[in-house]
C-alpha cells in the first residue's frame, strides 16, 4: 500500500475503507472483510452511528493496533451554556470508547460550522497529548481553511472534501499543497451520480487498461496525490479497489478525465443557508 506523509511526519495510507451509509448491523462484517482484503486505513465518524461496529471489527481482526490507521470525526457541538472545548474532549473520549481504542490516528472536524475555533483548540491539546496523532478538518472550503490556519498554532494535517471526476477540486488542492494540508476525497465515485460507472470517457480509459471504471477513478486520484476512502460491502469490490497499483494513467488520459470537471458539488453546498441550518440543527447524541 502506498502512503502519503502528513505535515507532522505521520504516514497515512493513500487508500482507505470508508463506512459512510453502511448500516450499523452491516458495518462489522464489512470492515472485517475489508481488513481481510488488506485495508489498513479505516474512516468513520460519530455521525455515522457505526463507530462501535468498526471497533468490534478491529478487535475481531487481531491486527496489531500499530498496523492500522483509524480516522473518526467530531460532529457539531452544542454548548450554549457550557464549553465547546470541554464538549469536544467528551465527544473525542466517547468516540474512543465506542471504537475500543486508546488513541486515534486522525481526528477531523466534520463540518465547518458552529464554534469550530474552540473545537480546534481542544483538538490541538489532544494532539499534543498524543491522543490524536494527527488532526484535521472536513468539508472546509479554501477560505475557511486558510483562516483557521492563520489564527491557530497547528496546521490541519488533512482536509477531507468531496472530490471525484465531476468535481475535481484542483484549485482547492493547490491551496492545500501550498499550506501543507493533505487533500482527502470523500465520495470518490460520486455515489454513482451522473452515471459515473458508465461514463464514456472513464469507460474508454478503463478499457484501454483492462480495468474497471472504479479502478480508473481511484488510480486517477492516487496519481493526483489524493487520499481516497472508497466504500463497498462486497468483498470482491473491496479487493478490486485495492488492485490499482499495477498500472498508470497516461498524461493524455488524465487530460481527458480533467475535462469532465463541472466544478460544482453533486451533493450539497456548505455555503447554502438552508443546508447550514439543517446541519447545525442535527443532533447525534
Query: What length does the chain have?
Result: 285
Closest of 173, 175, 206, 174 to residue 189, by C-alpha: 206
Cα 82 from Cα 80, distance rounded (Å): 6
Q: Are strands 17-18 and 3-5 parallel, antiparallel or unpaired?
A: unpaired
Helix ranges restricted to H, the chain: 24-37, 51-61, 84-99, 116-128, 142-150, 170-179, 200-209, 213-223, 235-242, 251-258, 273-280
What DSSP designation does 49 have?
T
Contact between 249 and 219 (Cβ < 8 Å): yes
Looking at 48, 103, 107, 116, which residue is catalytic?
48
Q: Are strands 3-5 and 11-13 parallel, antiparallel or unpaired?
A: antiparallel
What does the block give as the cell for 66? 500499530
Contact between 77 and 114 (Cβ < 8 Å): yes
Cα 124 from Cα 128, distance rounded (Å): 6
Contact between 135 and 108 (Cβ < 8 Å): yes
In whole angstroms, how far apart are CA 221 and each of 122, 151, 165?
32, 30, 9
48 in catalytic set: yes
Contact between 212 and 206 (Cβ < 8 Å): yes
Residues annotated catalytic, as ranges = 48
Amino acid at each position: 500500500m502506498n502512503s502519503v506523509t502528513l505535515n507532522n511526519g505521520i504516514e497515512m495510507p493513500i487508500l482507505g475503507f470508508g463506512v459512510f451509509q453502511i448500516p450499523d448491523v452491516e458495518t462489522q462484517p464489512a470492515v472485517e472483510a475489508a481488513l481481510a482484503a488488506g485495508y489498513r486505513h479505516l474512516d468513520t465518524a460519530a455521525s455515522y452511528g457505526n463507530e462501535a461496529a468498526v471497533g468490534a471489527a478491529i478487535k475481531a481482526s487481531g491486527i496489531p493496533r500499530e498496523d492500522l490507521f483509524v480516522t473518526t470525526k467530531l460532529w457539531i457541538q452544542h454548548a450554549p451554556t457550557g464549553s465547546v472545548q470541554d464538549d469536544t474532549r467528551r465527544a473525542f473520549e466517547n468516540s474512543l470508547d465506542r471504537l475500543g481504542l486508546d488513541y486515534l490516528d486522525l481526528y477531523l472536524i466534520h463540518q465547518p460550522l458552529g464554534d469550530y475555533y474552540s473545537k480546534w483548540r481542544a483538538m490541538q491539546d489532544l494532539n499534543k497529548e498524543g491522543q490524536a496523532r494527527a488532526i484535521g478538518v472536513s468539508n472546509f472550503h479554501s477560505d475557511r481553511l486558510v483562516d483557521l490556519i492563520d489564527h491557530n498554532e497547528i496546521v490541519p494535517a488533512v482536509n477531507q472534501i468531496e472530490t471525484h471526476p465531476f468535481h475535481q477540486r484542483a484549485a482547492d488542492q493547490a491551496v492545500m499543497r501550498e499550506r501543507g494540508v493533505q487533500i482527502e476525497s470523500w465520495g470518490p465515485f460520486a455515489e454513482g451520480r451522473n452515471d459515473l460507472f458508465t461514463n464514456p470517457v472513464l469507460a474508454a480509459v478503463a478499457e484501454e487498461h483492462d480495468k474497471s471504471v472504479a479502478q480508473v477513478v481511484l488510480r486517477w486520484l492516487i496519481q493526483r496525490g489524493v487520499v481516497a476512502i472508497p466504500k463497498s460491502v462486497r468483498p470482491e469490490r473491496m479487493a478490486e479497489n485495492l488492485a490499482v497499483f499495477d498500472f498508470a494513467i497516461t498524461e493524455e488520459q488524465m487530460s481527458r478525465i480533467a475535462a469532465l470537471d463541472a466544478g460544482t458539488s453533486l451533493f450539497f453546498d456548505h455555503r447554502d443557508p438552508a443546508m447550514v441550518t439543517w446541519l447545525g440543527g442535527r443532533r447525534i447524541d
